[in-house]
Amino acid sequence: MNNFIITAYSIYLPVMIALTIWVARTIHKNTKVFLVEIFPNHETVAFAVNNLLQMGFYLISLGYGFLRLRIHYSPSYFSQYDENASKLFMTTQKELVEELASKVGGFTLFVGFLLFFNLFLMLILRRSSKNSKLKAQQFQQYAQNIIKPNPTA
């Protein structure tokens, strides 16, 4: 019997792990700039948050990837239920490629979603940080005007 399930596992796992590592490193490298801006004068905190974000990305991505690992036939895959259907599942290269495309495609979409979610969070934090800085500057300017009124006014 020519069953390609082990071949599918041996292709899916390295692709899933490599994709996770590549995206996590890219996020880690590029998120650093945002976090240093969000946490001014606290680079240690920015780097710690960046490392924690990377670790969280690894855990979520790899966890989801391993959950999607199982390859099993669905009775709907065949026109009618057959006791021997599980033995007939994925016996051609075409079925192998289709199953891998489904697995890797679903995982890639999930990782892409996490990437954009991370970017969205960075943009929200950045905007919040800029608003806080602006409010602090306005308050400081207001306080200075109350203490030392502008003589030209």
How confident is the prediction along the chain (153 residues), in pLDDT tens digits per residue?
457 888 889 999 999 999 999 999 999 998 888 888 888 888 898 899 899 999 999 999 999 999 988 877 655 555 555 566 556 667 788 888 988 999 999 999 999 999 999 888 888 887 777 666 666 666 666 666 676 655 665
pLDDT of residue 34: 83
Within 10 angstroms of residue 22's Cβ, the number of other Cβ atoms is: 11
Residue 153 included in any domain: no
Residue 142 within any structural domain of the chain: yes
Residue 128 lies in a domain: yes
> 93 to each of 77, 96, 145, how far by Cα in Å?
16, 5, 77
In a domain, 73, yes or no: yes
Q: Is residue 127 part of a domain?
A: yes
Is the residue at 152 inside a domain? no
According to the model, what pLDDT value does residue 25 have? 95
Domain containing residue 120: 5-147
User: CB neighbours of 133 closer than 8 A, spacing ≥ 6?
Assistant: 40
pTM of the entire structure? 0.71
Q: Are 143 and 135 in contact (CB under 8 A)?
A: no
Please indicate, yes or no, if residue 112 is contained in any of the structural domains.
yes
* Total number of domains constituting the chain: 1
Q: pLDDT at position 82, please?
A: 58
Q: Which two tokens stand for residue 144?
A: 């200075």
Residue 111 located in a structural domain: yes
